[in-house]
């Protein structure tokens, strides 16, 4: 059970909801509600915005493909014993 | 990146990398490698194969293998597993080294971080590619701790496509 009650997308102000559209485009998947981490990051757009941009910059195709990087991210999450 | 076979390969790389790092970082100082002159021929053969696999100069032996030379039979089996895990198959060798580097960095392994960084460079990964892996490692070390602090449950588990690739090489040697 999460430590906080994650708000539904409709409870966020309009500027924060724009982050959810970016999230939907990033995952190319129609979630019933935006992913939990997207809603967490939207709680403080001044943190979530630059954090998300840094993530997208890191995950963008370069010397390694997006797919290769997603697998590295999964391995790092596993090493951090994170099930999310 | 669909197909479970790639994920099995990745998992084996992550697991065996952690195993090597545990010995190199945790044991080498208290149980140093045997002197070169006393190394068993079976262990020496592993050293030679490892040098060829990693492109190392003569006389250079990665720390975990040097430590494990105390038990040549065990070393031989372990090396076979390491080599199999890191061989280029569905995942490229450089991708596997990137996985090993990221996991070593995440688990704060001085040996693994340095070793796999050197391997990435040997395999032609430039500073940009290196920083890409550092960025992914750092970002997901952030996301994971935020998720853990808030005890979030995954909402990604059900969106992976069904794998139809089957189980390759199912027969055990």
Interatomic CA distance for residues A70 and A51, integer angstroms: 17
Of B130, B123, B125, which Cα lies nearest the Cα of B54?
B123
Q: What is the mean pLDDT of residues B152-164?
A: 70
- Is the ipTM value over 0.90, yes or no? no
B39 in contact with chain A, both atoms CB, cutoff 8 A = no
Interatomic CA distance for residues B120 and B125, integer angstroms: 5
User: Between helices B72-86 and B93-106, what is the axis angle to 10°?
Assistant: 110
Q: What is the mean pLDDT of residues A9-29?
A: 85
- The answer to whether residues B3 and A72 touch, using CB atoms and an 8 Å cutoff, is no
Give the pLDDT band (50/70/90) at residue B2: low
Question: What sections of B57-169 are H helices per DSSP?
Answer: 63-68, 72-86, 93-106, 110-122, 127-149
- State the DSSP code for B40: -
User: For A29-66, how does the pLDDT look when each residue is reduced to its tens digit (9 = 90+)?
Assistant: 888 888 999 999 999 989 999 999 999 999 999 999 99
Q: Which residues of A touch B (CB under 8 A)?
A: 1-4, 6, 27, 29, 31, 33, 35-37, 40, 51, 54-55, 57-59, 62-64, 67-80, 82-84
């Amino acid at each position: 059970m999460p430590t906080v009650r994650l708000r539904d997308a409709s409870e966020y102000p309009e500027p924060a909801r724009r982050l959810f559209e970016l999230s939907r485009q990033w995952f190319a998947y129609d979630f019933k509600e935006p992913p939990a981490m997207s809603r967490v990051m939207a709680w403080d757009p001044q943190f979530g915005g630059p954090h998300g941009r840094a993530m997208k910059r890191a995950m963008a195709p370069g010397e390694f493909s997006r797919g290769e990087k997603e697998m590295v991210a999964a391995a790092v999450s596993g090493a951090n014993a994170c099930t999310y | 990146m669909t197909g479970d076979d790639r994920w099995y390969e990745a998992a084996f790389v992550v697991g065996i990398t952690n195993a090597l790092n545990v010995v190199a970082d945790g044991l080498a100082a208290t149980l140093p490698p045997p002197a070169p002159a006393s190394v068993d021929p079976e262990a020496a053969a592993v050293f030679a194969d490892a040098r060829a696999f990693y492109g190392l100069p003569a006389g250079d032996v990665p720390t975990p293998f040097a430590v494990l030379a105390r038990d040549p039979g065990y070393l031989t089996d372990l090396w076979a597993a390491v080599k199999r895990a890191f061989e280029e198959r569905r995942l490229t060798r450089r991708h596997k080294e990137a996985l090993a580097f990221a996991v070593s960095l995440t688990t704060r392994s001085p040996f693994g971080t340095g070793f796999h960084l050197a391997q990435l460079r040997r395999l032609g990964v430039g500073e940009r590619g290196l920083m890409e892996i550092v960025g992914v490692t750092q970002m997901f070390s952030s996301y994971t701790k935020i998720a853990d602090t808030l005890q979030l449950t995954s909402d990604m588990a059900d969106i992976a496509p069904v794998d139809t690739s089957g189980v390759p090489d199912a027969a055990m040697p």
